[in-house]
Structures are given as C-alpha cells and as structure tokens.
Amino acid sequence: MRIFPYALNKDTYSIDYDYLREKGYNGVIFDIDNTLVEHNEPATEKAVVFFKRLHALGFKTAVVSNNKEPRVKAFAEAVKCYYVFKADKPSSRGYYEAMEKMGTGKDDTFSVGDQLITDIWGANNTGIKSIMVRRIARHEEIQIHFKRIPESIIVFIYKLTHRRISVKELL
C-alpha cells in the first residue's frame, strides 16, 4: 500500500505531457471533479481543447470517477475519452477497466488526481504512476471535505520527508 503520490504538480494543465509521451507513456487516467473542472461542472472549453491536444500527442485518455454514469458519461463524451463510473476508488477495478478500454498497461499509463485517499491511493494500488495536483476549487461535497483533513496531514508529511521531485525526474 503506497499512499504518497509519485509526483506533485500545481495543476493538471501544466504537467509536461510532451515529455511524458517521449518517455513512452501512452495512456492517461484522470479524475474529473477538482482535477479537470470544478466540482460537478460540465466539461469546459479549456478541458475540451486540452484533451484534443493530448490526443494529437498520441495519448489515449480515460476518466475514472466514483460518480454516477450520467455525470461521468457526459463529461467523457464532451472531451472524447473513455470512462469508468462508480469506480469505487481507491479500488484498482476502475483503473484496470480504463487501461483495458485504452489498450494500455501499467508500464505505459499514469494517473492524475486531486485526492490522496481515492485518486492517488487507487492508482498506486494498481501499480501505475500517480501525479497529485492541487484541487481547482474549495467547493465540494461534505464527505470529500472531511477526507481533506487527514489528507492535508499526509501531504504535509510527504513534503517534509521527500525532496521536491519534478515529474521529469520521477516518471
């Protein structure tokens, strides 16, 4: 069980995807809420353009969410990616299902998310590299807010015990 992310990045959109593609990564799994858009918001123009760029680079993409199908499917259709809903993160099931849909494996897939206890732990349980990003907005469901308390302590410990490592050094 590995709770720490492989790397931290300020946000999803500023990760060096060109570099990761050059390093042999073919698949990217994203969380949706507060990773790509604000909680419960539809796909923005920024997200649509971002996914077009990833696809032009040759990435296969998927969103894996604990949310219900209508929310996840609508977002995935807007950005033209695969999706898994009710993924039960941090379970590995959704990550494996996404990799199967994308035709990728553990060695050429990485995951991006804003929540340590679901997104990062789930990716790590699956054996894929995880990148934790800062949440986009503070507005979120109450149960997520309560998970942020132990999460902030764990991230604080991570920052104290790990030197700052860029995505390029780690993946």
Instruction: Dump pLDDT digits (tens) for 99-123.
Output: 999 999 999 999 999 988 899 999 9
Pick from 8-12, 46-50, 66-70, 94-98: least confident: 8-12
Task: Tell me the per-residue pLDDT of 10-50, one tens digit each, with 9 for 90 and over.
Answer: 999 999 999 999 999 999 999 999 999 998 899 999 999 99
Pick from 67-81, 124-138, 150-164: least confident: 150-164
Q: Does 169 or 74 have the greater pLDDT score? A: 74
Task: Tell me the per-residue pLDDT of 134-162, one tens digit each, with 9 for 90 and over.
Answer: 888 755 555 555 555 566 666 666 666 65
Pick from 39-43, 49-53, 69-73, 97-101: least confident: 39-43
Domains and CATH numbers, the chain: 7-170 (3.40.50.1000)
Q: How high is the pLDDT of residue 104?
A: 98
| Residue 2 pLDDT level (bands cut at 50, 70, 90) | confident
Contact 59, 27 (CB under 8 A): yes
From residue 144, how far is each of 33, 39, 114, 147 by CA, in Å?
11, 11, 11, 5
Q: Which residues contact 90 (CB under 8 A, 6 or more apart)?
A: 117, 118, 119, 121, 122, 125
Proportion of the chain above pLDDT 70, given as a percent:
79
